Amino acid sequence: MNIEKEEMVQNCAFLFPGQGSQYPGMGKELYENFSEAKEIFELANDALGYDLASLCFSGSEEELRQTEKTQPAILTVSVAAERVLRKHGFKPIVAAGHSLGEYSALVSANAIDFVDAVKVVAKRGRFMQEAVPEGVGAMAAIIGLDSAKVEEICSRMSPEGKVTLANYNSPIQNVIAGEKLPVQRAIEEAKKEGAKKTVLLPVSVPSHCEMMRSAREKLSEELDKIPVNDLGFPVVSNVDSKENQNGDAAKQNLKRQVTTPVRWVESVERIAGKVDTVIEVGPGKVLLGLVKRIKREMICLNVEDLKSLEKTLSSLKS
């Protein structure tokens, strides 16, 4: 598996996961078998000032859920996996990332230097955690209702507090975010309206809503300190589900992303208009599950360890 190849554009899209995909041991096999992956972890360790590799390989689930560490950990594993795919000669014609994953996509497109990205996302995690006191905010997944119905339920909650649709994940899976009480009330209303399942997510940060306003302001200042170059290939943005290759626009999208919903359904539909194969690059297969609910005909592959890498390379070669 160490054969060098001349890089070729592959008729596929790279998808990069966001927070929630982490698990103990992620990235370990890639680190141990590929110098390209090991180099990414070493760069992260140096940039952050602690042993991120050990956190990923042997840290507890509780440690990996600390937002300030989760975000750089997922970014690092994702970029390490991307570098391994590049080593084997493959690059996409388009990419996208779910929330945090958009940073990985921009690193892959050579818009942001990895060291700059890993430092920024660590601060992003801290700013998001600081924006809302523990126990004040909440997020919940609502399964079995379309987005229009979920939006309508959220609008009913306005007298009790702030709650909005934060992730348009699939035609029947949506995530809401806001103040804890109205989120809980929205869950009850969704059940009455026929939701198949509702899940109060184990997070304390209500992402992608106006409660993240202070985090957006602080993050904007940090993003303004780093260069974001024009992209080597298009990345579909979370905020408007449009393809973009302009560096300035990419930076503005990252700023807006913190307080605006992730339009994943529309993003996947746009990608499906260009390619028939998607590869989830990084820990887990959460995004592939969503893709299959949006576009069943898509070929779905992933790279997170040796087994998935071998399967994906075999499929791409055939």
Return per-residue pLDDT of the chain as tens, 318 residues.
333 444 556 789 999 999 989 999 999 999 999 999 999 999 999 999 999 999 999 999 989 988 899 999 999 999 999 999 999 988 999 999 999 999 999 999 999 999 999 999 999 999 999 999 988 999 999 999 999 999 999 999 876 678 999 999 999 999 999 999 999 999 999 999 999 999 999 877 899 999 999 999 999 999 999 999 999 999 999 999 999 999 999 999 999 999 999 999 999 999 999 999 999 999 999 999 999 999 999 999 999 999 999 999 998 876
CATH fold, domain 8-131+211-317, is Malonyl-Coenzyme A Acyl Carrier Protein; domain 2 (3.40.366)
Convert the pLDDT of each residue in 86-110 to its tens digit.
999 889 999 999 999 999 999 999 9
Q: What is the structure's pLDDT at 66?
A: 87
What 3-state DSSP class applies to 286?
A: helix
88 is catalytic: no
Residue 64: alpha-carbon gap to chain centroid: 15
Q: Report residue 225 as tokens.
A: 């300190």
Considering the chain, tell me which residue range(s) the CATH 3.40.366.10 domain(s) occupy: 8-131+211-317
Give the CATH architecture of domain 137-204: 2-Layer Sandwich (3.30)
Convert the pLDDT of each residue in 204-251 to its tens digit.
789 999 999 999 999 999 999 999 999 999 999 999 999 999 999 999
Find out whether 265 and 173 touch, Cβ atoms under 8 Å: no
Within a 10 A sphere around the Cβ of 141, how many other Cβ atoms? 18
Considering the chain, tell me which residue range(s) the CATH 3.30.70.250 domain(s) occupy: 137-204
Find out whether 54 and 90 touch, Cβ atoms under 8 Å: no
- Select which of 21, 78, 99, 104 is catalytic: 99
208 is catalytic: yes
Q: Report residue 37 as tokens.
A: 């992956």
Find out whether 26 and 56 touch, Cβ atoms under 8 Å: yes
**pTM for this predicted structure:** 0.94
Find out whether 274 and 251 touch, Cβ atoms under 8 Å: no
Tokens 């103990």 correspond to 24
- CA pair distance 258, 262, nearest whole angstrom: 9
- Select which of 204, 208, 237, 308 is catalytic: 208
Phi, psi values for residue 40, rounded to 5°: -65, -45
